[in-house]
């Protein structure tokens, strides 16, 4: 062995790879893909968003995440256009790293069940996402029961006030699996609102079909992003205490996460936190729980 080869081998032994730090699969349950250069363009993000308005496709995602050991991704809708559900499924044909998609359909509309049946034929179509304005709409209950009967899930997007609506939604449709996007939330400043938020969060923690997507961890402080896991430990501990090891799932929210920090930092913080919980808890968070929540 020549000197250069020996030094390379020694360095490889001395410095553990990032992949070695996560010795199991990693499924990212929240990333967006879109292409403004298409003839029809995109409905989101807006053209004046200098960070997000650009072509964002799996080639870039793979380049960024492969060195970190990411093995699969669930795409989450970034468009209300019906045919963009098929656009993502076509993308998944080309990129097997996309193990599933959470699409966009409109419960309460006359064509909902027809469209649900159409996309449900593809096993990679695992659910839909609703915003805060829709989660409290009781008129959507029949269609959401149909979603549950099909074995599909519901991602919900909003903030602290939404959680009480999700509690009532689980009362109306108890068989529906629900994934709360982008936890941890920043708790309300007002004492009464904060108490209501924490009560709703703890109530949802008692409901076995509700999952917490930990995809909003990193914060910016005075133009600086802390990388020490201890800075984030109180909010992560709260989710751990409420949902336990079986109902927390990993999500990056890439490329939106780039507004705060690079993917590597987003991943580093949760990797270190869950490594401290042990191998079994880390595996559940990074991939096993996602299989139960999404049935991908």
Q: Where are the domains of the chain?
A: 21-294
**What's the Cα-to-Cα distance from 211 to each of 11, 133, 155, rounded to whole Å?**
41, 20, 9
Predicted confidence at residue 4, as pLDDT, reads 41
**What's the Cα-to-Cα distance from 79 to each of 20, 35, 64, 105, 270, rounded to whole Å?**
36, 11, 23, 10, 28
Where does the pLDDT of residue 7 fall: very low under 50, low under 70, confident under 90, or very high at 90 and above?
Answer: very low
What is the per-residue pLDDT across 137-193, written as a single tens digit (0 to 9) for each?
999 999 999 999 999 999 999 999 999 999 999 999 999 999 999 999 999 999 999
Alpha helices in 101-228 (DSSP H): 112-120, 132-135, 141-149, 162-172, 191-205
Average pLDDT of the chain, as a whole number = 93
> With contact defined as beta carbons under 8 Å apart, do 176 and 169 qualify?
yes
Looking at residues 228-234, what average pLDDT do you find? 98
Question: Does 52 have pLDDT greater than 90?
Answer: yes
> With contact defined as beta carbons under 8 Å apart, do 141 and 166 qualify?
no
DSSP state of 56: B
Where does the pLDDT of residue 6 fall: very low under 50, low under 70, confident under 90, or very high at 90 and above?
Answer: very low
Predicted confidence at residue 13, as pLDDT, reads 33
CATH number of 21-294: 3.20.20.140
What is the per-residue pLDDT across 187-215, written as a single tens digit (0 to 9) for each?
999 999 999 999 999 999 999 999 999 99
Alpha helices in 136-262 (DSSP H): 141-149, 162-172, 191-205, 229-243
């Amino acid at each position: 062995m020549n000197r250069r080869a020996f030094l390379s081998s020694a360095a490889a032994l001395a410095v553990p790879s990032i992949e070695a730090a996560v010795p199991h699969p990693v499924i990212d349950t929240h990333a967006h893909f879109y292409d403004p250069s298409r003839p029809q363009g995109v409905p989101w993000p807006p053209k004046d968003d200098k960070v997000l308005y650009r072509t964002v496709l799996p080639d870039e995602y793979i380049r960024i995440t492969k060195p970190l050991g990411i093995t699969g991704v669930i795409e989450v809708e970034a468009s209300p256009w019906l045919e963009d559900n098929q656009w993502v499924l076509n993308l998944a044909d080309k990129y097997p790293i996309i193990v599933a998609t959470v699409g966009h359909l409109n419960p309460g509309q006359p064509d909902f069940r027809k469209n649900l049946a159409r996309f449900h034929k593809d096993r990679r179509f695992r659910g839909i996402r609703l915003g805060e304005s829709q989660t409290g709409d009781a008129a959507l209950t029949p269609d959401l029961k149909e979603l549950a009967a099909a074995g599909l899930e519901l991602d919900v997007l909003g903030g602290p006030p939404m959680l009480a609506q999700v509690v009532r939604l689980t009362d109306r449709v108890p068989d529906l699996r629900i994934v709360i996007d982008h936890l941890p939330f920043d708790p309300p400043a007002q004492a009464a609102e904060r108490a209501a938020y924490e009560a709703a969060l703890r109530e949802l923690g008692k409901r076995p079909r509700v999952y917490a997507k930990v995809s909003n961890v990193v914060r910016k402080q005075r133009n600086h992003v802390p990388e020490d896991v201890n800075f984030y430990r109180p909010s992560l501990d709260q989710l751990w205490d409420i949902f336990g090891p079986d109902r927390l799932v990993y999500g990056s929210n890439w490329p939106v996460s780039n507004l705060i920090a690079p993917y590597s930092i987003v991943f580093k913080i949760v990797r270190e936190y869950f490594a401290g919980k042990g191998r079994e808890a880390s595996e559940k968070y990074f991939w096993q729980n996602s299989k139960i929540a999404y049935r991908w």
